[in-house]
Chains A and B, each alone.
Chain A
Amino acid sequence: MSWAAPEAAITCVLGPNGAGKTTVMEMAEGLRRPDSGVVRVLGTDPWRADADHRRRVGVMLQDGGLPGSVKPLRLLEHIAALYGTPGELPSLVDQLGIDDFRHTSLRRLSGGQRQRVALAAALVGRPEVVFLDEPSAGLDPHARLDVWDLVRSTRDRGCCVVVTTHSFDEAQRLADRVIIVASGAVVADGTVAEVGGATGLEDSYFALTRAPKASR
C-alpha cells in the first residue's frame, strides 16, 4: 500500500473492515511499528518521533482514548497544556458544543458527545497534520455538520487532514482527495470526481472492493 497526503487538503481513506486502514493510520500516528516498508510523517519516522514531532501531529483514535472518571474540560485543558496551546481550547469547546456537557464525567457521556471530545483532543494542539479515525461516527446530523465545518476550517488554515471513514456522504462532502484501500492495497486514488467517474463514488467503491465470497 503506497499513498501520500498533501498539506492543506483533506484526504479521505475508505475501505472495507480489515482492509488495513486503521493499521496504516496507527503506523502514521506512531502507535505501531511497521513490519516492512516506510512510513514518513512531516519527513519523520513516527515510531521514533520525538516530542517536537508529536507536537506537530494531532490524533483522534477510533476507540477514543478518553479516561472515564475525568470531566471533558479537565482532560482537554491537560492535553492543551501538554501541547503548550491553551489558547485553542475556548473556540473548540464552543464550536463542538462541549460546554453543554462540561460537568459530566466522560464515562457518562453518549457516544456522540465522547466523539466530540476526542476530536477536540486531536485539534487542541493546533497540529500541522491530523489523523481522524471515523470522526463523525455516531453523531446526530447537526453535530455532524458542525464537525465537518471544523474539519474544513482546519484544512483551510493549512493543516494536512487524513480521515478514515465508512461514509460516502462524509467523503463526498469533505474530501479533496479520496483513497480506496482493499486487502492491504490502494485500489483508487484521486479526487471524488476522478475516483467516482461516471457512476459515482459509491458504485465505484463497490466495484473496486467487492471480493469473491470464497476468498473473503
Chain B
Amino acid sequence: MSSPAVRVRSQAAFETRTLLGNGEQLLVSLILPAMALIGLAVSSTPDLGPGRRIDIVVPSVLALAVVSTAFTGQAIATGFDRRYGVLRLLGVTPLGRSGLLAGKALAVLVVVVLQTILLSVLGALFGWQPNLGGILVGALLMLLGTWTWVAIALLLAGVLRAEAVLAVANLLWVIFAAAGGLLYPTAKLPGMVGDVVRLLPSGALGDGLRDALTGHEGSLLLPILVLLLWGLAATALTATFFRWDDK
C-alpha cells in the first residue's frame, strides 16, 4: 500500500527517466542551451550591455534552459501523452490526475536542477563568476519560472491538439530565445518592445536571473511579481480549461 507522496515520487522518477532517455528532449534541454552558451561566450555580438560578457551569458542561458525544459519539452511531452491516452490511463490508477501533474512538475524540477548544474560547470570553464549573494534569489527565480512555465505548458498541452502543441511550443521557444528577453536583455530591445517584454514571463526570468547573478538584486521586485502573476494566471487557466483527452 503506497502513500500519495510515494506515488508522486514514483511518477516523478518514471517521468525523469523518460525525459532523460529522450533524444529530442536532451537536445532542447541541454544541447541547444549549451551551444548558445558557447556561441555567445566566444563571440562579441550581439552586444549584451556593460559588465563581463560571460557573467551575462550564463544567467541568460540558464533562463533559456528553464523555458526549454519546463515549457517546450513539457508541453510537447504532455500533448502527446494526452493524444495517446497516457494521461487517461495513469489518471485512473491510484496516482490520480493531481498526482500525475504533480509528478510531471517534480520531474521537470529535477531536470532543471541537473541542467543548471551542467550549464553552470560549462559556464565556469569559460570564466563565469556569479555574484554569490544572488544565488539564493536566483534559485527562487528559477523555481518561480519553472512553476510558471510548466503551468503555461500544461495549458497549451491540455487545450490544443498534439501537432499544434509541437508547432507552437517550438515556435515560441525560438521567439522567446531571440526576442523574449531570455538570451538578450530587455534593456537592449528597442523602447516599447523592451517595456512589453519585461512584463512577459520570459523577460522577467531572463532579466531577473541576470540581475541576481551579476549583483543587481535591487531591481528584482518586478521580475518576481511578473512571474508570480503569470504563474497564478496560468495555473488558474490550466485548472479550468485542461482537457484530459483530445477527442
Say whether A associates with B: yes
Task: Please give the residue numbers on chain A whose beta carbons come within 8 Å of chain B beta carbons, in ascending order.
Answer: 29-31, 50-52, 54-55, 57, 59, 61, 63-70, 74, 78-79, 81-84, 121, 125
Q: Is the CB of A65 within 8 A of B86?
A: yes
Q: Is the CB of B91 within 8 A of A31?
A: yes
Specify which chain A residues have a CB less than 8 angstroms from the CB of B244 in the assembled complex.
31
Instruction: Bin the interface of chain B by size.
Output: 20 to 34
Q: Is the CB of A67 within 8 A of B92?
A: no
Q: Which of A31, A68, A74, A81 contacts B84, CB < 8 Å?
A: A68
13 pairs, A vs B, C-beta closer than 8 Å: A31-B91, A51-B4, A51-B7, A54-B94, A57-B92, A65-B85, A68-B80, A78-B14, A79-B93, A81-B2, A82-B94, A83-B93, A84-B94
Q: Is the CB of A51 within 8 A of B92?
A: no
Interface string of B1-39 (1 = CB under 8 A from A): 110100100110010011001100000000000000000
Specify which chain B residues have a CB less than 8 angstroms from the CB of A82 in the assembled complex.
2, 7, 10-11, 90, 93-95
Specify which chain A residues have a CB less than 8 angstroms from the CB of B95 in the assembled complex.
51, 82
Task: Please give the residue numbers on chain B whose beta carbons come within 8 Å of chain A beta carbons, in ascending order.
Answer: 1-2, 4, 7, 10-11, 14, 17-18, 21-22, 80-81, 84-96, 99, 244-245
Q: Is the CB of A61 within 8 A of B21?
A: no
Given A81-B7, A81-B10, A84-B1, 16 more contacts at CB 8 Å?
A: A30-B92, A51-B7, A51-B99, A54-B94, A54-B96, A57-B92, A59-B92, A65-B88, A65-B90, A67-B84, A79-B93, A82-B94, A83-B93, A121-B89, A125-B93, A125-B94
Q: Is the CB of A70 within 8 A of B18?
A: yes
Q: Is the CB of B21 within 8 A of A69?
A: yes
Q: Is the CB of A83 within 8 A of B94?
A: yes
Specify which chain A residues have a CB less than 8 angstroms from the CB of B10 in the assembled complex.
78, 81-82
Q: Is the CB of B84 within 8 A of A64?
A: yes
Q: Which of B11, B14, B80, B88 contacts A61, CB < 8 Å?
A: B88
